[in-house]
Amino acid sequence: MILLCYIFKFFDFLRKENAPWQVALAIVVGMFMGFTPSFNLQTVTYIVILLIFRIHIGFTLISFVFFHTLSVFADPLFHQLGLTLLTETPNMQKLWAGLYHAPIVPFTEFNNSLVLGGVAVSSALALPMFFLSKFCVIAYGDSIAHALINTTPWRMWAGTTIYRTYVRYQRSPK
């Protein structure tokens, strides 16, 4: 039972912070994480942001999986974009050289074409994605939630002992 309590606390931890802006920010952070191909300082930064700031962790993970899957198909584009930015933009060469020899910055692997391409695309899409996500959450959040609740898999899940125990846990005074 104690173990179950800890598991339920973990679920709570994942699904707290469900204000529209928090969910939208979670999707944006998940997008940044998904478009980063390897584990580097950027990934660590995103994880730190996720843990420190009040962002919906569950949606971050869902967004990460979605955009990481998308990046498999978008990698050639990221590579080309990154390579162009690194080697064919004379005005930025000195900036790249400076960043490459600066402290800490090289650990972000910005000098890798895939990483830079992914970051560039994520940065360009960040604001539009934030506002679009926020709009979707506000406009369609409740209707999507209702639709999900009425699906067969959810009803099957809602009938399980674990779910009913979780609901009792939620209703109990903490």
Contacting positions for other proteins (CB under 8 A): 13, 16-20, 23, 37-38, 48, 50-54, 75, 78-79, 82-83, 86-87, 90, 93-94, 96-98, 100-104, 106-107, 109, 111-115, 117, 137-138, 141-142, 145
Closest contact distance (angstroms) between CB of 31 and other proteins is 19
Nearest residue (CB) to other proteins, 31 versus 118: 118
Q: Rounded CA gap, 31 and 42, in Å?
A: 13
The distance of closest approach from Cβ of residue 74 to other proteins in the complex, given in angstroms and rounded to an integer, is 13
SS3 173: coil
Helix (H, G, I), strand (E, B) or coil at 169: helix
Q: What's the closest the beta carbon of residue 167 comes to other proteins, in angstroms?
A: 15
- Provide the residue type at 151 as one letter: T
Using the structure block, give the residue that is written with the tokens 């939620």: 170
Measured distance CA(51)–CA(37) in Å, rounded: 21
To other proteins, the closest distance from the beta carbon of 87 in angstroms equals: 6
The C-alpha atoms of residue 36 and residue 21 are separated, in whole angstroms, by 23
Within 8 A by CB and 6+ apart from 6, the residues are none
Q: Which is nearer to other proteins, 17 or 129 (CB)?
A: 17
Residue whose CB is less far from other proteins, 66 or 75? 75
Output 45 or 161, the one with its CB closest to other proteins: 45
